[in-house]
Amino acid sequence: METKEKEEYSKFQWFFYVVLIPSFFTLIVVFVLLSVTGFKPLGAVKNFASKVPVISSLFDNEEKDSQAEKEDKVSVADLEAEIQAKESKITQLESEVETKSAEIQSLKLEIENLSSELVKLQEERMAKSKSLSDLTKMYEQMSPKNAAKIIPNLKEDEAREILSSINIEKLAAIFEKMPPEDAARYTQLITQ
């Protein structure tokens, strides 16, 4: 029994090595030679197969596939055009971002400048406030009669600031020593 199985296996090997492999090799060599010479073996096979009734239905599907490929190419072209449009939009938006960034930088610089000016103005106001408080103390220590003579000679803004800062009792004493017209005018200035 073992010899029969070995013989059958040997016949299969013989068929495989002697018939099948050389046939495939010959077909491949013929196909390559025909392709090199310019003859299109696939085209010839396709034409022949399209004439055979059962196989022709398979090639009809290939024609449908080729139409689908053409449509795909058209849609690819549309998609490429869309990509180009989006890339140009991206470029435009990038340039807008750059201009906005430059604008932001200039605004930051302007904010820094204004902040430094504000600090300077606050320092000046503090210095002025300190000098105003010193002037106020000086007028409060001065006799009401002398203060009533000096205040009408000051500018209205300065007089209003000083009079607004003076103690109410001292202010009343100064107004008593002033002429009534001046006292009324300075009273109106203080209340504004």
Q: Is 147 exposed, middle or buried (0-12, 13-18, 19+ CB in 10 A)?
A: buried
For 13-38, the pLDDT digits (tens) are 888 888 888 998 998 888 888 888 88
- The model carries a pTM of 0.37
C-alpha distances out from residue 77 to 28, 80, 89, Å: 37, 5, 18
What's the rounded Cα separation, in Å, for the pair 74 and 16? 48
Low-confidence ranges of the chain (pLDDT < 50): 1
Specify whether the CB–CB gap between 56 and 47 falls below 8 A. Answer: no
For 130-146, the pLDDT digits (tens) are 777 787 888 788 888 88
pLDDT at 104: 94
Domain boundaries, the chain: 72-123, 142-192
pLDDT at 11: 81
What's the rounded Cα separation, in Å, for the pair 166 and 138? 10
pLDDT at 107: 94
